[in-house]
Structure 1
Amino acid sequence: MPITQLNIRAVRNLSDLSLAPSPSINIIHGANGSGKSSVLEAIHLLGLCRSFRTNKLNHLIQTGSQRCTVFAQLDAMGSGVSQPLGVERNLESDCRIRYAGNNIDITTLAELLPIQVINSETFMILEGSPAIRRQFLDWGSFHSNPEFIRLWRGFRRVLKQRNSLLKYGKIEQRIRVVWDQEFISYAEQLNTLRELYIEALKPEFDLILADLLEGISIDLSFSPGWDKKRGLDQVLDENFERDLRQGYTSAGPQRADLRLKVDGHTASERLSRGQKKVVVSALKLAQGVLFYKLNSRACIYLIDDLPSELDQHHSRLFCNYLEKTASQCFITCVDKDALTEYWSEPAGLRFFNIQDGCL
């Protein structure tokens, strides 16, 4: 599903930049502050209507501009036919998305342009809060089952209503029963899809990790957000008085977590910085491989400063796996020579030098 043409306007220091990327590997190189990461940020905006670096639009949109836009020609289904895709954000937080001449919503956009980011923040999958790992899980669940988004939205609606009632401080028994039943129904279905996704991801992750990090075995497990030895109805009932005092629901899919352990210990506490980068990269690569198997098309990888934290051996292995995924990759680095020799098919490489926001 490669992007065949990319146009970026008013994203940080990129005033008006156009490039025709390779369908496989694109190396974007230049000095620090030149705008390399801003190219990745613009592609992320194109796929998700937001930056992966900031939530503040006044930082994303170029100083002096009221809006930023990213346009692309996209072969979304891998059919060989490209269609125009455009996303515009302005300082008032408005968002416009058009594909093939029609307005579309963000869910449709995410389906069209599945994006994986590997950068310094990817470490947070290991080191950060459960919310970050749930986001990782839900990306895969969303792209593996069309029912997921309906269940996720339904659950969020019920959770919000239940928490509102808890904050109010008084809930009639009959009202509580109604909302608890709906909460449990959505929760169990959502949990099933997450569990199925983890079961499918595990073998892909194990295979990739075995090649990238010899001698290290990671135990990947899923916690649904409540004690599975008891029914969720029992858990909600037992926690009710505490939830009423706190004003929110303490158990359910909103507390789910993905656990990674080495020899029974939390992976973030046992692994070196370099090993952590290999593990989180293996997770992202596994997601891409599984996405391809489930959807018969590849996702797009945005990789910021690939050589960072990796030695030459692991950089080469990582690049070889990227080639195997048949994904379109956009990779930044300061020195292009640091990455040139790692690819088995140099003919598929395309280099872009960014200087002061210009190509």
Structure 2
Amino acid sequence: MRLEQLRVRGLRCLGDISVELDPALNVFTGANGAGKTSVLEAVFLLSHARSFRSGAKEALLQRGASQLAIFAELHHVDGRTGRVGLGRDGVRWEARLDGANVAIGQLVRECAVVCFEPGSHALIAGAAEERRRYLDWGVFHVEHEFLICWRRHQRALKQRNSLLRSATPTDDALFAPWEAELAQSALQIDQQRRAYLDLLRPKLLTSVGGLLPELGALELRYRRGWPEDQELGRQLREQRGRDLARGHTTLGAHRADWSIVFEHAPLREHLSRGQEKLTALACMLAQAELYAEHRGEWPIVCLDDLASELDRAHQAAVVAQLAAVQAQVLLTGTELPQALQGRPARVFHVEQGELTRLL
């Protein structure tokens, strides 16, 4: 898939920009703070309805603005086209598809974007929440029933946590219905996540092997969020007292995690920051390849500040791989990376939130 026309209004330092993108390689250059990362952020928002950058949601809005809007023309390899949009007025997000208001999930399913950026190492070294997001985005695009199940789980979890914080006695009649729903939905989510990881594993083995051969064989480990040999409903009943003291549910699909263990780096702490980044990049490429296998087209790929995150050899390898599969790539840097020298690309200069096409 590819974006042909992108318009952004009121996002960070981007006042009102409109850019016609190349179907292959697009490079945004400029000084730090010029707004080039915000262009990638706009594209990512269309696919995730959240930013890949940390910080308060209010920081997304341009200073003095009360609204932001992102619109794009989306083209699929099968010839389908669509107009996608995401807007925010105050705290409420509104998604649009071909001029009609739609659920956020429908927009996210239509537009797929993966991103490698300076914070991507958190996928390997950060909290479990980041790894669950990565996993669930992939499951969502493979398993159509996942979103319904995930929402059921979130609703049951919210209700049980509310009971735990209400200082209400642990009356079984109050807790039992939500615990039954939580256990049932968690089991379904667990099965879907396992099935997805089984599909991802061979892609990951190839991707990591190409980027980090010195680390040897790898093992992909998964923890579902409650003991493997125990039924979650029973565990929730037995753990009510402990959960009541903590004020939240300590077992369930919302506590799941996964990790990559290397033959020559059995602990995460054995990896350098550079190796963490390359592992995260391998995960992104593997997920994109699996998406392409199931949907018949590659997702849009964003690479933020590529030259400062990867050495020249890895830059060239990644760009060559993406060019070979004809993925649309949006890439940023303070200048045109050497790995792109001689490659056809559409180059833009970004300064104070304004875009100028150079090539």
User: Same fold by TM-score, threshold 0.5 exceeded?
Assistant: yes
Structure 1: which 5+ residue stretches go unaligned? Answer: none
- Give the Cα separation in 1 of the matches to 2:25 and 2:141: 23
1:339 corresponds in structure 2 to 339
2:213 corresponds in structure 1 to 214
Other structure's SS at 2:189 match: helix
1:89 corresponds in structure 2 to 88
1:114 corresponds in structure 2 to 112
The aligned amino acid for 1:270 is H
Q: Would you say the 8 A contact 2:152–2:181 is kept in 1?
A: no
1:163 corresponds in structure 2 to 161
The aligned amino acid for 1:7 is R
- Give the Cα separation in 1 of the matches to 2:99 and 2:316: 41
2:291 corresponds in structure 1 to 291
Other structure's SS at 2:71 match: strand
Residue 52 (structure 1) aligned with residue 52 (structure 2): yes
- Give the Cα separation in 2 of the matches to 1:169 and 1:157: 19
- Give the Cα separation in 1 of the matches to 2:266 and 2:319: 27
Other structure's SS at 1:288 match: helix
When structure 1 is superposed on structure 2, of 65-74 and 47-56 the one drifting more is 47-56
Q: Once the two structures are superposed, what CA deviation does each residue of 1:178-215 show, in whole Å capped at 9, x if it has no partner?
A: 33222211111110001111111111010111111112
2:186 corresponds in structure 1 to 187
2:241 corresponds in structure 1 to 241
The 5-angstrom pairing of residues 98-109 of structure 1 reads 98-109=96-107
- Give the Cα separation in 2 of the matches to 1:226 and 1:22: 47
Q: Would you say the 8 A contact 1:87–1:96 is kept in 2?
A: yes
Question: How far 1:250 sits from its partner (Å)?
Answer: 1.3
- Give the Cα separation in 1 of the matches to 2:304 and 2:92: 27
- Give the Cα separation in 1 of the matches to 2:295 and 2:200: 14
Other structure's SS at 2:297 match: coil
RMSD: 2.0
1:41 corresponds in structure 2 to 41
Q: Once the two structures are superposed, what CA deviation does each residue of 1:216-237 show, in whole Å capped at 9, x if it has no partner?
A: 1332111001110222234334
The aligned amino acid for 2:202 is P
Instruction: Go from structure 1 to structure 2 and tell me whether the alpha carbon gap of 1:237 and 1:89 turns closer, same or farther (over 3 Å shift).
Output: closer
Q: Would you say the 8 A contact 1:27–1:332 is kept in 2?
A: yes
Other structure's SS at 1:332 match: strand
1:11 corresponds in structure 2 to 11
Q: Once the two structures are superposed, what CA deviation does each residue of 1:240-277 show, in whole Å capped at 9, x if it has no partner?
A: 32123223221111110012222386653111121111
- Give the Cα separation in 2 of the matches to 1:58 and 1:163: 27
Instruction: Go from structure 1 to structure 2 and tell me whether the alpha carbon gap of 1:179 and 1:51 turns closer, same or farther (over 3 Å shift).
Output: closer
Aligned length: 353
Q: Would you say the 8 A contact 2:9–2:17 is kept in 1?
A: yes
Other structure's SS at 1:241 match: helix
- Give the Cα separation in 2 of the matches to 1:297 and 1:252: 34
1:261 corresponds in structure 2 to 261
Q: Would you say the 8 A contact 2:8–2:15 is kept in 1?
A: yes
- Give the Cα separation in 2 of the matches to 1:141 and 1:173: 33
When structure 1 is superposed on structure 2, of 300-309 and 108-117 the one drifting more is 300-309
Q: Once the two structures are superposed, what CA deviation does each residue of 1:29-53 show, in whole Å capped at 9, x if it has no partner?
A: 1121221111112222333343322
Q: Return the match for 1:149 from 144, 147, 150.
A: 147
1:69 corresponds in structure 2 to 69
1:355 corresponds in structure 2 to 351
Other structure's SS at 2:309 match: coil
When structure 1 is superposed on structure 2, of 349-358 and 262-271 the one drifting more is 262-271
Q: Would you say the 8 A contact 2:84–2:107 is kept in 1?
A: no
Other structure's SS at 1:120 match: coil
Question: How far 1:82 sits from its partner (Å)?
Answer: 3.1
The aligned amino acid for 2:235 is V
TM-score for the superposition, normalised by structure 1:
0.92
Residue 28 (structure 1) aligned with residue 24 (structure 2): no
Q: Would you say the 8 A contact 1:218–1:267 is kept in 2?
A: no
Q: Would you say the 8 A contact 2:49–2:108 is kept in 1?
A: no
Other structure's SS at 2:239 match: helix
Q: Would you say the 8 A contact 2:312–2:339 is kept in 1?
A: no
The aligned amino acid for 2:14 is L
Q: Would you say the 8 A contact 2:46–2:108 is kept in 1?
A: no
When structure 1 is superposed on structure 2, of 12-21 and 137-146 the one drifting more is 12-21
- Percent identity, aligned pairs only, is 33
- Give the Cα separation in 2 of the matches to 1:273 and 1:114: 28
When structure 1 is superposed on structure 2, of 146-155 and 169-178 the one drifting more is 169-178
The aligned amino acid for 1:176 is F
The aligned amino acid for 1:173 is D
- Give the Cα separation in 2 of the matches to 1:153 and 1:327: 32
When structure 1 is superposed on structure 2, of 159-168 and 137-146 the one drifting more is 159-168
When structure 1 is superposed on structure 2, of 319-328 and 104-113 the one drifting more is 319-328
Q: Would you say the 8 A contact 1:40–1:302 is kept in 2?
A: yes
Structure 2: which 5+ residue stretches go unaligned? Answer: none
